[in-house]
Every structure is written in C-alpha cells, then in structure tokens.
Amino acid sequence: MKVKNSKLDQNLMPFSEKLEDHLWFMKLSLEQADLAWKLQEVPIGAVIVDSKGEILARTHNLKETAHDACGHAEILAIQEASKKLNSWRLNDCRLYVTLEPCPMCLSAIGQARLSQVIFGAYDRKGGAISLGYPLHNDQRLNHRFSVMGGVMHFECSKQLSDFFKQRRASHGSV
Ligand SMILES: [Zn+2]
C-alpha cells in the first residue's frame, strides 16, 4: 500500500521532478560517454529532452576527433536539438550531462534558454559552479535556470577515472 501511494505521488509530480526520469536520462548520457571513450575521447555524454520527455539530442565529446575546442558534448547537444526544433530557443528543455559543465557550456546553455541542467560528476578543476562561476543564477543575466548536480555521481565519476587510468596505463606511465 505504501509503495502504491508513493507511485501515485510520483505520477502526480511534474515530469521534471521525477527522480526515475533523471536516472534514466543520465543512463543514456553515460551510454553516449561510452561512445566517446571508443573514440579515445574523454568520456562525456549529454542528452537534451523536451518538456514531454522526448529526446531531442544525444551527443558526446568530440573535441579530439573534430579538432574542435568547442566540441563539448553540451554544445553539440544544443546544436542538434536546435536543428531538430528549427529554433535556437530551447525553452522548457532539459540537458543531462555526465560531468559538470564548464563555463563555456553553462553560458551556452543560458544562451539557448534551457530550463534545467542535470549533471553527474562534479568537476572541481573545470566545472563552472565548482570554479565559482554560477552563470545559471546571475541576476545580471536575463535568463536563469536551475542546475542539479550529483545525479549518478558515482557511476559518472568512475567512468572518467577508469578512462584516465586506462590512458595512463597505455601511455606506459603509472
Ligand atoms: Zn564544456
């Protein structure tokens, strides 16, 4: 009975508040990150979904492959979703990404008017919020959005540390 009630409550909650949805889309983002790993790219994956939960973009880091400093998963996801909607405005859409966005990406997410970002692992050395650039919440900017970090933190950070471990091993250093 208790389970039934909590299920009902979940169904009454707005789509964006459902933890099971966050976990599902983060899992898809991790799959994207795996594709990056196969290309020997740092494994970072992103997914953009609209307010109904329809997937508009699935992308992964292509910085090395595309020789593009801006080839971060989030930027590519914004481009793909905008192409699909035929609009640069991604209002009411959400972006999932396995690693905390850098300042460039967090700024681009604001430019694209996304409503929410959900990320996995924190990035103490490169993440916008960790570095002290909370661009999603700057009163001087005309678009603000919510950010939630740490969703599937363990899985997301393990994937990255495993990748760097393997890369160090294949380069012959410890
Ligand atoms: Zn970035």
**Ion ligand 1: residue ranges with CB closer than 5 A:** 72, 102, 105
The Å distance, Cα 7 to ligand 1 centre, comes to: 36
The Å distance, Cα 75 to ligand 1 centre, comes to: 7
Catalytic residue among 74, 80, 100, 155: 74
Q: Cα Rg for the chain, rounded, in angstroms?
A: 17
Closest CA to 158 of 90, 102, 88, 98: 98
Q: Which residues pair with 146 in a beta bridge?
A: 116
Please report which confidence band the pLDDT of residue 73 belongs to, taking 50, 70 and 90 as the band edges.
very high
The Å distance, Cα 63 to ligand 1 centre, comes to: 10
* Residue-level pLDDT at 78: 98
- Compute the mean pLDDT over every residue in the chain, rounded to the nearest whole number: 91
Q: Which residue has the tokens 């990404």?
A: 97
The Å distance, Cα 28 to ligand 1 centre, comes to: 18
Q: What share of the chain in percent tops pLDDT 90?
A: 84
Query: Is 74 noted as a catalytic residue in this protein?
Result: yes
pLDDT of 62 > 60? The answer is yes
pLDDT of 156 > 80? The answer is yes
Give the pLDDT mean for 101-108: 98
The Å distance, Cα 44 to ligand 1 centre, comes to: 10
Please report which confidence band the pLDDT of residue 16 belongs to, taking 50, 70 and 90 as the band edges.
low
Give the pLDDT mean for 80-87: 98
Give the pLDDT mean for 12-28: 78
Cα separation, 53 vs 39, whole angstroms: 28
Give the DSSP per-residue string, 101-129.
Answer: PPHHHHHHHHHTT-SEEEEEE--TTT-HH
